[in-house]
Amino acid sequence: MTSRREFISTATLAAAGVALAPLAACSQERAAAPAATAAAAKPFSGTLITRAIPSTGEKIPVIGMGTSGSFEVGAEAGERAPLREVLEAFVAAGGTLIDTAPTYSTAEDVLGDLVAQTKTRGKLFLATKLSGVTGREEGLKQFNDTLRRLRTDKVELLQVHNLRDTATQMALIGELKQQGRTKYSGMTHYREDGQAQLADEMRKHKPDFIQINYSPVSRGAEQTVFPLAQELGCAVMINRAFEDGRLISQVRDKPLPPWAKEVGADSWAQLFLKFVLSHPAVTVVIPATSKVRHQVDNLRAGTGPLLDAKQRQALIAALA
Ligand SMILES: NC(=O)c1ccc[n+]([C@@H]2O[C@H](COP(=O)([O-])OP(=O)(O)OC[C@H]3O[C@@H](n4cnc5c(N)ncnc54)[C@H](OP(=O)(O)O)[C@@H]3O)[C@@H](O)[C@H]2O)c1
């Protein structure tokens, strides 16, 4: 099992000096969405940007959410109530894609229960994984357990977690696609040292989605993975946009740059998410939070202008 607390080394962060890919105009649209109603310091308003999944053209909002850590709680009502608010605010804003995994301890159970309680399954794009399994039978058993835990009979996206047993698990995902039990296939990693292998597997298996880490201090994906995803027509989902929270800690006492208001941002979190989304290869980003005020903050990054090349460089420089 991969822990979200496993973090990228300082050396990897320092090695983030790669050239920026040219920022071609992104194909994106504004989707009408109702305003969020959940209690939060500053309510969400506006419409989330959407982008197309290349293999089908289906459009999804650019802000998704993760569940590692944040949804790994017990059965107590007090532990789950804030997560229900996080989910409700997400759906009310028009968010759809939620990423989870059977190896995030209780996350699938908690998510499945909250989705059932809030009756939101029909509005969601659920992404989960075949995780830490070897062989077809183990993979199939885990997927059947996942469906039970998520209280659903199918998911929108099934991903091979961290490239484990990739050929066998991708073949299984292909079968499940045929049966309509997952709509899309995918493969994930979360570290720069996994990106060369990810690129090899992308060429072999041509998944609908890849999921990889990317942030202003971890830009390795710009070198091979992003251009390859564009060439092959893979949707790109971004994990660890906040470096598992460390980026937020790094800027805690720093004032926002003056140009933040030019892109409608009033938090560092929004700038980090807008940075990720301003790369034309990126389809969706999945920040994880256990707090509704952070959820609303993150959702606001999916509205208004993104960063231009100069603003991207200024953000990178501000973190150096
Ligand atoms: N191999 C893989 O496939 C893989 C690996 C890693 C992650 N993932 C996926 O990617 C998701 C995201 O990655 P991650 O969970 O590692 O970390 P992340 O999204 O980079 O950071 C999460 C941290 O940021 C904080 N946070 C979130 N929004 C905030 C805001 N607006 N202001 C201040 N702090 C904020 C959260 O704390 P609060 O709860 O206090 O808001 C949490 O500590 C995971 O949940 C998982 O679904 C996949």
Residue 5 lies in a domain: no
The residue range of the domain holding 300 is: 26-318
Rounded to whole angstroms, the Cα distance separating 229 from 54 reads: 10
Residue 159 lies in a domain: yes
Q: What would the pLDDT profile of 117-138 be if each residue is shown by its tens digit?
A: 999 999 999 999 999 999 999 9
Residue 11 lies in a domain: no
Rounded to whole angstroms, the Cα distance separating 177 from 154 reads: 10
Percentage of residues in the chain having pLDDT higher than 70:
87
Confidence check: pLDDT of 33 > 80: no
Number of domains in the chain: 1
Model pLDDT, residue 238: 98
Confidence check: pLDDT of 20 > 50: no
Instruction: Confirm or reject: Cβ of 244 under 6 Å from ligand 1.
Output: yes
Residue 295 lies in a domain: yes
Residue 3 lies in a domain: no
Instruction: Confirm or reject: Cβ of 268 under 6 Å from ligand 1.
Output: no
Domain with 172 in it: what CATH number?
A: 3.20.20.100
Asked if 48 and 94 touch (Cβ cutoff 8 Å), the reply is: yes
Tokens 């605010």 correspond to what residue? 89
Q: What would the pLDDT profile of 65-89 be if each residue is shown by its tens digit?
A: 999 999 999 999 999 999 999 999 9
Mean pLDDT, rounded, of the chain: 89
Residue 83 lies in a domain: yes
Instruction: Confirm or reject: Cβ of 191 under 6 Å from ligand 1.
Output: no
Rounded to whole angstroms, the Cα distance separating 31 from 61 reads: 8
Q: Return the structure tokens found at 269.
A: 């979190």
Residue 268 Cα to ligand 1 middle (Å): 14
Residue 19 lies in a domain: no
> What average pLDDT does the segment 7-33 reach?
33
Q: What would the pLDDT profile of 241-283 be if each residue is shown by its tens digit?
A: 999 999 999 999 999 999 999 999 999 999 999 999 999 999 9
Residue 312 lies in a domain: yes
